[in-house]
Structure 1
Amino acid sequence: DPPNAHIEVSDDGQGIADQRVDGRYGLAIMAERAERIRGRLEIRPRHPHGTTVAVVLGPAGRRDSV
């Protein structure tokens, strides 16, 4: 099934490090929030440089505000 909503943000910066940095929780919090509304967080590199972050909500996703 196609997603009901797909919200995506991309940049052309240096990208995100492959390893977790202690004391940094931004992406983990974003992933938790996506799960709370029955969605998922996708993070992928953008070539030649940068990052794309997306929240994808499926057909069963709740309609609560984020």
Structure 2
Amino acid sequence: MAVRRLLTLRECSHRTGHRESTWRAWVLHRKIPFYKVGKSVRVAEADLEQIIEQARVPARENRDGR
């Protein structure tokens, strides 16, 4: 079984620039996958990376194809 790195909402906040309260709201409304460990909430590092990747906006090509 692979070991998953689980991040606190504060760590997610520091990595993305979103407020911790935003992360809490996303958990409350189940907009992101998360783990409940006792009373604490954790987000898998792989899930955070996927959330960031899904928000990626690709660069536009110039009209001349470059």
- TM-score (norm. length: structure 2): 0.24
Larger Rg: 2
- TM-score (norm. length: structure 1): 0.24
Q: Greater strand percent: which structure?
A: 1
Q: Greater helix percent: which structure?
A: 2
